[in-house]
Structure 1
């Protein structure tokens, strides 16, 4: 399912950007429930009336923060693999860019805030999925689709969207779980390389064709 973002940092007003920046600081530090409008307006350096003028509820402001974070992440990942042709290089580069984002302090803090509030605010959690992980799946699917056209991959057994989801989950699963359950620990470059290589090799063994394997022989 393709998500449509309503926040674009290059089109919103400077005051609105200040509000979102202040909200980002507070939400990531304190979570959704503990954050207050007073805290946000102080962090943003604006009046409370300015906050409400752009975002009438805390939920809408949180949505704006999530959209801004996810939009920046998707753009960053998209740019790194645009000019690569080798399939293994494309997958490895996508995985590394994605891992850098979701293992960053802000990425982990946002995920904790979302999951912590999901039972009380399921619409916010769903919104995060659509503009974040689902959009990442769509981006990966674009690269996979190109490789299926030239015969390097065959994802007909599961379909393009599911194949993309399988890859992003291979990249995210163990790495994210380790960092979420070991707060403060930072995985080494070697550990991240191992996670990435495992995800790429597993995916290629599942869906790589004889054409791809012959090209690497």
Structure 2
């Protein structure tokens, strides 16, 4: 039986609390972030923080959802989608890898896996704000590229998921399981270059854009 997600109350200091929590979680990770530090960074009392988020886990997930959306929005704004697909995909891959290989990104993933049995709503929420959002944003670009004739793709959702997984090859599991050394800039670039090359070998179009 699925446990209903606790209701989160919103008020005039809600965004302020999220901003403070984001600063602390990005700096200290989930386990290292204390409620006292979060309240201090947010400029609110602990009572105010608890009135919005009675559980640190809920606050972490709210920050994670907001951070995933921020990263996706910035990627869309900063990447020139009219550039050659290799350029666009490489830029997108760097942003994706940078996020999911960060202490914060790894922390989100670990919490969702660890708590999935007791709190399945966490995994559900993270999927919709993380992997599904990546698929949607990548899908938007891939449709645009197909319309220009620079990519040839029949199943956009599958292709978007494939590219996201290619970007995790080797480095994500090594980071998740604490395999050292992990992961040198050369390893990351090798993974990104390989992901783009394989994707283009499968879906590269014949048009000149």
Bin of the TM-score, shorter chain as denominator length:
0.7 to 0.9
**Which residue is equivalent to 1:115?**
113
**Which residue is equivalent to 1:144?**
142
Instruction: Please give the per-residue CA displacement for 1:141-160, whole angstroms capped at 9, x wherever unaligned.
Output: 1111111112222221xx11
Stretches of structure 2 lacking an aligned partner (at least 5 in a row) = 1-10
Q: Cα offset for 1:79?
A: 2.6
In the alignment, is residue 169 of structure 1 matched against residue 161 of structure 2?
no
The 2-side partners of 1:129 and 1:141 are apart by 16
Query: Which residue, 51, 54, 78 being the options, matches 1:53?
Result: 51
**Which residue is equivalent to 1:7?**
none
Using the TM superposition, name which of 36-45 and 72-81 deviates more: 36-45
Aligned residues: 198
Instruction: Please give the per-residue CA displacement for 1:34-84, whole angstroms capped at 9, x wherever unaligned.
Output: x88677546645323312433355564333222222122212322331354
In the alignment, is residue 30 of structure 1 matched against residue 28 of structure 2?
no
**Which residue is equivalent to 1:4?**
none
What's the TM-score once normalised by structure 1's chain length? 0.76
Query: Which residue, 172, 177, 186 being the options, matches 1:190?
Result: 186
SS, match of residue 82 in structure 1: coil
- Contact 2:167 2:195 (C-alpha < 8 Å) held by counterparts: yes
Query: Which residue, 73, 86, 89 being the options, matches 1:88?
Result: 86
Alpha-carbon RMSD: 3.1
What's the TM-score once normalised by structure 2's chain length? 0.79
Using the TM superposition, name which of 100-109 and 40-49 deviates more: 40-49
- Contact 1:28 1:110 (C-alpha < 8 Å) held by counterparts: no
Q: Cα offset for 1:188?
A: 2.2
